[in-house]
Structure 1
Amino acid sequence: MKTRAEELTNPAVQAVVAAMRDGNREAFFAAFAPSAELTDDGHPQPLEQWADREIFQAHGHLDVEREDNNGLELVGPFHSDQWDMKTMWRFRVINGRVQRLDVSAL
């Protein structure tokens, strides 16, 4: 069963998922700290280039099936023009902004 972005527990995580769903690049990056880090399957990636390529140019979105760890871990299929796979998204949120995001295929 899919979880709507507005039902997610953590406000920063909620903002990221809603921005992906809405294709709102500005809102997406506003949820992240300026020095935020990202890994994709364990490989460090520049956040802005990765998000543009994997989410905004490819119409990517996450269908959240469940959230764990007080809303800081999301599991569900990620769909885009390029991908259709089950994923885990782990967030580190400090002072209301995402400091680190680790995305991995399951």
Structure 2
Amino acid sequence: MRDEELTNPAVRAVITAMRDCNREAFFAAFAPSAELTDDGHLQPLKEWADREIFQAHGHLDVEREDSNGLELVGLFHSDQWDMKTMWRFRVIDGRIHRLDVAAL
């Protein structure tokens, strides 16, 4: 699935920012108090994103979206990982307030 086909604008902005390695655009999609979990464990969003995405050249090849565009399934590739993952977003007023990432 192409990034441009993702139906939720905030989710699309995150996936596009990952693809373009655009840290500023990535974080702009999130509310200041946004939470992130990785396999059920609460993580600091900025530290996690820097480590798992920006320093490791991470990106998500989306296979499908569900839940009105708020849940993505796809292959996450980085210098460290190649795995199938699920990304679930909670979006309020156009900003991401929670992201849950899990290996499948």
**Superposition TM-score tier, normalisation by shorter sequence:** over 0.9
- Deviations along 1:9-46, one digit per CA (max 9) or x if unpaired, are 00000000000000000000000000000000000000
- Deviations along 1:23-81, one digit per CA (max 9) or x if unpaired, are 00000000000000000000000000000000000000000000000000000000000
Unaligned 5+ residue runs, structure 1? none
Q: RMSD value over aligned CA atoms? A: 0.3
| TM-score computed with the length of structure 1 as normaliser | 0.98
Q: Matched residues in 2 for 1:19 and 1:6: separation? A: 12
What is the aligned partner in structure 1 of residue 28 from structure 2? 30
Following superposition, which runs of at least 4 residues in structure 1 exceed 3 angstroms of deviation?
Answer: none
Q: Percent of aligned positions with the same letter in both sequences?
A: 86
1:68 maps to amino acid: D
Q: How many residues align?
A: 104
Describe how 1:1-106 pairs up with structure 2 within 5 A: 3-106=1-104
Q: Matched residues in 1 for 2:7 and 2:46: separation? A: 25
Unaligned 5+ residue runs, structure 2? none
